[in-house]
Amino acid sequence: MLGFVTTFLRPGGFAGNARQWVRPILGDGVVRLPYPESGDSAIDERDIADTPAPVLLAGPGGPHDGTAPTLTGPESPARRQEVQILADALGREVRIDPVSHDEARAFMTATMPPFVTDSLLEYWAAADGRPDQITDAVESVTGRPARTFATWAREIAVPLTVG
Residue 91 lies in a domain: yes
pLDDT along the chain (163 residues), means of 10: 75 93 96 96 96 90 90 97 96 96 95 95 95 96 97 87 62
Q: How much is the pLDDT for 2?
A: 56
Whether 1 is covered by a domain: the verdict is no
Q: Is the dihedral of CA 118, 42, 139, 48 positive or negative?
A: positive
CATH number of residue 90's parent domain? 3.40.50.720
**49: containing domain:** 10-162
Q: Give residue 6's pLDDT.
A: 85
Domain presence at residue 5: no
Residue 26 placed within a domain: yes
User: Backbone phi, then psi, for 135, in 5-degree steps?
Assistant: -130, 165
Question: What pLDDT is stored for residue 163 in this prediction?
Answer: 53
Quote the pTM value: 0.90
What pLDDT sits at residue 1? 43
Is 51 part of any domain?
A: yes
- Indicate whether 83 belongs to any domain: yes
Number of domains in the chain: 1
What's the confidence (pLDDT) of residue 3? 60
